Chains A and B, each alone.
Chain A
Amino acid sequence: QEQLQESGPGLVKPSETLSLTCTVSGGSVSSGSYYWGWIRQPPGKGLEWIGNIYYSGRTYYSPSLKGRVTISIDTSKNQFSLNLNSVSAADTAVYYCARRKAAAEFYCFDQWGQGTLVTVSS
């Protein structure tokens, strides 16, 4: 069973950059069968898609965050990462990494990390 695990600072100062890494075990980020994505959830609110990356490095970002977000992939470490710059309190959320099927008509997130809370505060 493939597992995903987020890691990174739990506290980030306003205007700085939020950086998280997702480590995949039991599988490979080089698999062409999946995209790798980031989703966040502010406390008490719903899910917000941030973006996805394919093993080739091709990225897709939410229009609402495009310009502040960068997702990258490191196949040698079996990891993918999220950078979100110029953060504010509105970026406080639980951040999830997830595996997204790459089969047409089934582009769903079928495996999720446990999530990590990132708080933006001085």
Chain B
Amino acid sequence: DIQMTQSPSTLSASVGDTVTITCRASQSISNWLAWYQQRPGRAPKLLISKAAHLERGVPSRFSGSGYDTEFTLTISSLQPDDFATYYCHRYEGDSDTFGPGTKLEI
């Protein structure tokens, strides 16, 4: 099974900062990776697919990059609504795996 890790597990930042979250796969997954934002008590929201493709309606301050086993989610000019937990998600035709999450706190 492919395992996913994220770092850091918790990230402290301030409004206006730029932050980067890293996701690593235990083996190559090409660019078949997505990122989700989850606010407390809410369902996850898809932000980015195929490692770098921004979903419709997602602010451009969110960006993703990476290939093979290492991926990053960058959020620039942090807004109050951005303080949430972020999950990476590795997918293929017949299975899915989520990373353990990164909590972005003020």
Q: Please list the residues of chain A having a beta carbon within 8 angstroms of any beta carbon in chain B.
A: 37, 39, 46-49, 52, 60, 62-63, 96, 98, 100-101, 104-110, 112-115
Asked whether any CB of chain A lies closer than 8 Å to the CB of B67, the reply is no
> Contacts A106-B49, A107-B32, A108-B91 known; A49 to B96 CB distance under 8 Å?
yes
How many B residues have CB within 8 A of the partner chain? 27
Contact in complex: A96, B50 (CB < 8 Å): no
Q: Please list the residues of chain B having a beta carbon within 8 angstroms of any beta carbon in chain A.
A: 1, 31-32, 34, 36, 38, 43-46, 49-50, 53, 55, 87, 89, 91-101
Judged by DSSP, the binding face of B is: strand
Contact in complex: A60, B98 (CB < 8 Å): no
- The one of A46, A100, A104, A105 that contacts B98, using a Cβ cutoff of 8 Å: A46
Contact in complex: A47, B50 (CB < 8 Å): no
Nearest Cβ on chain A to B7's Cβ, whole angstroms: 14
| 8 further contact pairs, Cβ within 8 A, besides A39-B98, A107-B92 | A46-B99, A47-B44, A96-B44, A106-B49, A106-B53, A109-B44, A109-B46, A114-B43
- The one of B1, B89, B92 that contacts A109, using a Cβ cutoff of 8 Å: B89
A63: chain B residues at CB < 8 Å are: 1
